[in-house]
Amino acid sequence: MNNPHKPLEIHDLTVSYQRKPVLYGIDLEIEEGSLVGVIGPNGAGKSTLVKTIMNMVKPNGGYVKIFGRAPKAGISRIGYVPQRETVDWDFPVTVMDVVLMGRYGHLGWLRKIGETDRRIACECLEQVHMLPYANRQIGNLSGGQQQRVFLARALAQESSLYLMDEPFAGVDAVTEKTIVSILKGMRDRGKTLVIVHHDLASAREYFDHLLLLNMRKVAYGKTGEVFKPDLLQKTYGGRLSILSDMASKSAGVRVIEKEAYFTEK
């Protein structure tokens, strides 16, 4: 657990799509044992950031380091919980099968699933209150239950860094509270969690660090320091998307401080 490298290190990351920048010049260093929320408006590049870290998207510039290693090798250290829309719910697997998949990374190629693996899987399912559903096919679950199954899989992976893409989307309030308490428990045990979150209001109480993202890193730091009106306005109100800048301008939001021209050396 005591790793000389930071769990996540990003430098000057630039990702564009069809000649429009989606992420530009992102610098980020996340310490171990943080529960980080990534917030920003739609189209701000939050999902792109997650996909770039998971090596699903190639950046145009800059780099990502996961525990000091390049993404291709580093993603084996990440427990990833995808967005729910991307899953094929008709696939013939049970809840237990999905959670056991999380253990495959620990097993060698030809080693069978052992008692330890099953025990760990059961514990993880118990943690998310899904053990009674262990033999149910994953399509026969509600939205909140499905989310919890994938969380259990991530837990079973026993990773040090977790990356979750909108885990609370479309989930009932009770499940949300359960998941948050599980995440905080993981953080207390020294895990690092980076969560893409869609709701500004709850972000303040859920996370201890926040990354405000809108194509550029607007701010990153402890929630108390970063959750400030001017920074939030820059993230949400002062949209960097070129086209909607006009709309912001006409709404009276001061996008550019002209005085800053002369303060820089």
Partner 1 sequence: MELMDVSLFPAFDFSRVFIEPWKNPASVAWNGQVILMGLFICWTCGVLGSFIVVRRMALMGDAISHGILPGLALAFLFTGSLALAPMWVGACLAGLACSYCIEWLRLHTPIRQDAALGLVFTSFFALGVTLISLGAGDVHLDPDCILYGEIGFVPLSPSLRIGGMNLGNQALWTMGGVCSLIMGAVLVFYRHLLVSSFDSTLARSMGIRVRRIHFGLMLGLALATVACLESVGVILVVAMLVFPSVTASFFFVRLSSLLWASFPLGAAYCIGGFHLAQWLDCSLAGAMATFAGIVFIPCCLLGPQDGIIWKLRRGTNNFRMNETKKASG
Partner 2 sequence: MKLGLENFHFAGGFSVISKILLGGVFTLLLPQVLSAEQIRGPESIEFFDRAMRFFEMRDHSVRVVALGSVLIGISCGMMGSYVVTRKLSLFGDTLSHAVLPGIAIGFLWAESKDNLALLLGASFAGFLGVACISLLKKFTKISQDSALGIVLSGFYAVGICMLTRIQKMDFGNQSGLDTYLFGQVSALSTNDLIGVCASLVLITLFITLNYKELLISGFDPEYARSVRLPADILQYLLWALLAFCVITSLQVVGVILASALLIIPAASASLLAKRMSSYLCIAASLGAISGLVGAFLSFLGERLPTGPLIVLTASFLFLLILVFRPHHGILVCWVKSRLQSHRIAMENTLKAIYQVIERHNFSETSIRMEELMQRRNLGSGECMKEVNRLSRSGFATASLDPHSPSGLPPEKRVSLTPKGWEYACRIVRNHRLWELYLTNEARYAPDHVHEDAEKIEHVLGEETVRELERILSNPRRDPHGKLIPSLVDIERGWLG
By CB under 8 A, name the binding residues for partner 1: 54-56, 75-76, 78, 80, 82, 85, 87-94, 97-98, 101, 104-105, 109-110, 135, 137, 139
Under the binding rule (CB under 8 A), the answer on residue 188 touching partner 2 is no
The one of partner 2, partner 1, none whose footprint includes residue 55, by CB under 5 to 8 A per kind, is: partner 1
CB of 114 to partner 1, least distance (A): 14
Nearer to partner 1 by Cβ, of 83 and 202: the residue is: 83
- Chain positions 206 to 235 lying near partner 2, rule: CB under 8 A, are 216-219, 234
Under the binding rule (CB under 8 A), the answer on residue 45 touching partner 2 is no
Count of residues touching partner 2 (by CB under 8 A): 34
The vertex-22 CA angle with 18 and 28, nearest 5°, equals 145
CB of 147 to partner 1, least distance (A): 15
The one of partner 1, partner 2, none whose footprint includes residue 253, by CB under 5 to 8 A per kind, is: none
- Chain positions 86 to 105 lying near partner 2, rule: CB under 8 A, are 90
Q: Strand pairing partners for 221?
A: 210
Under the binding rule (CB under 8 A), the answer on residue 58 touching partner 2 is no
Q: Report the interface residues with partner 2, using CB under 8 A.
A: 12, 14, 16, 19-21, 24-25, 27, 60-61, 90, 139, 216-219, 234, 238, 240, 242-243, 245-246, 249, 255-258, 260-262, 264-265
